[in-house]
Structure 1
Amino acid sequence: MHFTGTIWRPPYEAYSLLIQVTAGCTHHSCKFCTLYEDLPFKFRMSPREEVEEDLKETSRYYNKVPRVFFTGANPFALSVDKLKTLAKSVHEYFPACQSMGCFSRITDVTRKSVEDLKELRALGYDGITFGIETGDDEALTFMKKGYLAKDILEQCRKMDEAGISYNFFYLTGISGSGRGNIGAKETAKVINQLHPKIIDASMLTIYPTSELYKEIQAGNWKEETELEKLEELKTLIENLTVDAKFATDGASNLIQVRGNLKKDKKKLVRFLEQQISSQDEAYLRKYRENLRHL
C-alpha cells in the first residue's frame, strides 16, 4: 500500500477502506495547522498506477467493501473528471461498494456546479467531511482559512441540492481568549441553516512549529484557557438546533461528549456544566502540554 506521511481520517471512518489518492493540502496556510509538516511537498496527487495497485492489493483480501475513504487533506479538490475516474476504479475492484468519502475544504466545492456534484453523488460520493473550524469570520480571517461563513453556507447548500451528505469538524478555541462564546454562537448560526450528519469537535492544540505559536509569542493572539474551551463547547451545543450526531472524538479532547443533538442536548449541556464546575485548570492544561501529537 502507498501511504505518505501521517494518515489522518475522521473517527467515524474507522471501518472504511483507506486509499491514498492525494497527500498534503492544497491550501497549507492555516496558522494553527501542523498536520502535514512531515511532508517534503505542499500537495501531490497520487499517480493513477499507485491507486490501481492499492485497490488491486486490497481486493485480494476483501471481497466486499461497503465504503472507501480517500486519504489526504482535501482530495475533493481534484477535478470532477479525476474524481469520476477514481470512483470508476473503486467500482471495478469493489462492485458492492456503496459510497466513497474524503476530506474537503469549502473552497473545493466552489469550482463544482450542482450538476457536477449530482454526477459525483450518482457515482457514490457521499459523507464528505469539511473542517469548517468555525463560523466566526474574524477567526477565519486571522487564521488564514481562505473562506468566510457565507462561503460555508453557499457551498454546503450546493451539496444539499446535489444530495451529497456531509460532516463538519469544529475547532474549539479557534476564536481566542475572550471570544470563545462569540465564535460558538456565530458557528451555530451557520450550522443551523445547513444539514450536517455529524459534527465532530476537536480542541485547539498549539505546537511550537505553527505560525499561530509565533503570533502568540509576538503578543498578537491569546489562547483560551481549558475551562474557557469547555464553556465554548457548551455554548455551541446550547445554540445548535440541527438534528445531527455530536461528538468530541480525538486525542485533543480530554473531556469527551457524544450524543444526538435532538435527543441528548440537555444531557450533554448538564455534563459539560458539571465538568466546568469540577475540573481543575492546571490538570487540564497539563494534559494539553503533554499532548505530543494529535
Structure 2
Amino acid sequence: MIYPELHFTGQVWRPPYEANSQLLQITSGCTWHKCKFCSLYYGTPFRMSPLSEVEADLKVIRQWQPRAHRVYLTGANPFALSYNKLMDIAILLRKYLPHLVSFGMFARVTDIAPKSIEDLKNLRHMKLDSINIGIETAHDPTLERMNKGYRATDILRQLSKLDEAGIHYNVFYLNGLGGKGKGVESAIATSDVLNKLHPCIINIVSLTVFPESQLYQEVVDGTYEEAPEIERLVEMRTLISRLNIKVNIMGHHISNTVPVIGALPNDKAAILHELDNAIAQLSEKDLKAYRNRIYHL
C-alpha cells in the first residue's frame, strides 16, 4: 500500500507544547532571513505553499486524522501571509476538519503590523487562538546589532494588538544574545516591556552559535564575544525576578545549562532559589563544556 505524503519542505519546527498538534505546512523558510544569530532555516529559501497544495494536504489529514482538533501551521513565520490569505486557509481548515477547535503558528513581530484589530478579531473568530513570537529581547541595541528589523516599541505596540483581539501568544527570549556584559541590560529592558503585556508563556532559550549563522564569523573574528555561562544564569535570574505578570516560564530547552520551569508568580521564589544555587555552585568550565556538546537545536 502506498501511503500519501504531506508537503513538507526544508526544516520543520514546532514548540514542545504543540507535540500533539497536527502539522500543516503553509510556508517554508523565513521571510526575513537576516537575523545574525539564526541558523534554523539555513539553506531554505522562503516559499509560500499554494492553496491547492494546502488543500491536498488537508484531504490527506481528513483521511488519516479526521477528528484532528488542533492544527499547527509550520514555517518560520506563516503569519507573514496577508489577512485574506490567512482567512482562506482558515476556511479550508474548517471545511476539511469539522472537529477543529483551534490552530496556531509562528510569527515575527513585523507580521502583525499590517493587520488591523478587526482583522485579528476575525482571525480569532476563525479559530486562530495562539501565536508564537521570537521577540528574542526588548533591548534595542541588541535588536539592532542582530538585524531583527524592529525595536522594543514595536514589540509593545504589536503584541498589545493581540491582547486586544483576544489572541493568545507565547514569546521566545534568547538568553545571552547581547553578548558579554549585556545580559542584565537585556533582561531589564525585556521585563519592562513584558510587564505591560500578557504573554501566556515565556520560552527561554540560550544563544548557541552555529557555523551556519552570520554571528559565527563575528565570534571567530573576535568582534562578538559570547556571554559567559554564569553571566547567562544571572541574566535569566534578572529577567524572572523582575516579571510581575501572571505567566508560565518554560526554560527547559536543551540550550539551557540549568533548566527551569514554572508558573509566575507562585513558582518565582523556587525558580530564583534554584538559579541562585546554580550560580553559586556550578563552574563556568563545566557549563561551557555542556554548550560545546550541543550540535543542533
Matched, 1:6 2:11: yes
1:99-139 per-residue CA deviation (whole Å, 9 max, x = no partner) reads 11100000001111111111111101111011000010010
Residue matched to 2:65 = 62
Taking the aligned partners of 1:89 and 1:254, their CA distance within structure 2 comes to 42
Matches within 5 A, 1:130-149: 130-149=133-152
Residue matched to 1:90 = 93
How many matched pairs? 292
- Cα drift, residue 215 of structure 1: 1.8
Taking the aligned partners of 2:291 and 2:10, their CA distance within structure 1 comes to 23
Residue matched to 1:15 = 20
SS in 2 for 1:128: strand
User: Which is worse superposed, 213-222 or 79-88?
Assistant: 213-222
- Cα drift, residue 218 of structure 1: 2.8
Taking the aligned partners of 2:32 and 2:158, their CA distance within structure 1 comes to 17
CA contact (8 A) 2:11 2:29 kept: no
SS in 2 for 1:263: coil
Residue matched to 2:43 = 38
1:160-219 per-residue CA deviation (whole Å, 9 max, x = no partner) reads 111111110000001111110110011000000000001110000001221112222333
Taking the aligned partners of 2:27 and 2:252, their CA distance within structure 1 comes to 24
CA contact (8 A) 1:6 1:38 kept: no
Q: Which of 126, 129, 139 does residue 129 from structure 2 map onto?
A: 126
Task: Note the residue ranges of structure 1 that are not aligned, 5 or more in a row.
Answer: none
Taking the aligned partners of 1:76 and 1:50, their CA distance within structure 2 comes to 18
Matched, 1:285 2:288: yes
Q: Which of 102, 109, 116 does residue 106 from structure 1 map onto?
A: 109
- Cα drift, residue 249 of structure 1: 3.2
1:207-241 per-residue CA deviation (whole Å, 9 max, x = no partner) reads 12211122223332211011111111111100111
SS in 2 for 1:126: strand
User: What is the letter of the counterpart of residue 5 of structure 1?
Assistant: G
What is the identity percentage for the equivalent residue pairs of Structure 1 and Structure 2?
48
Residue matched to 2:3 = none
Taking the aligned partners of 1:116 and 1:222, their CA distance within structure 2 comes to 42
Q: Which of 150, 168, 175 does residue 171 from structure 2 map onto?
A: 168
Q: TM-score, normalised by structure 1?
A: 0.97
Superposition CA RMSD, Å: 1.0
Residue matched to 2:193 = 190
Taking the aligned partners of 2:32 and 2:56, their CA distance within structure 1 comes to 28
Taking the aligned partners of 2:147 and 2:54, their CA distance within structure 1 comes to 32
- Cα drift, residue 63 of structure 1: 2.7
Residue matched to 2:29 = 24
Q: TM-score, normalised by structure 2?
A: 0.96
CA contact (8 A) 2:184 2:238 kept: yes
CA separation of 1:63/1:209 partners in 2, compared to 1, >3 Å: closer, same or farther?
A: closer
- Cα drift, residue 146 of structure 1: 0.2
Taking the aligned partners of 1:249 and 1:273, their CA distance within structure 2 comes to 17
SS in 2 for 1:127: strand
Task: Note the residue ranges of structure 2 that are not aligned, 5 or more in a row.
Answer: 1-5
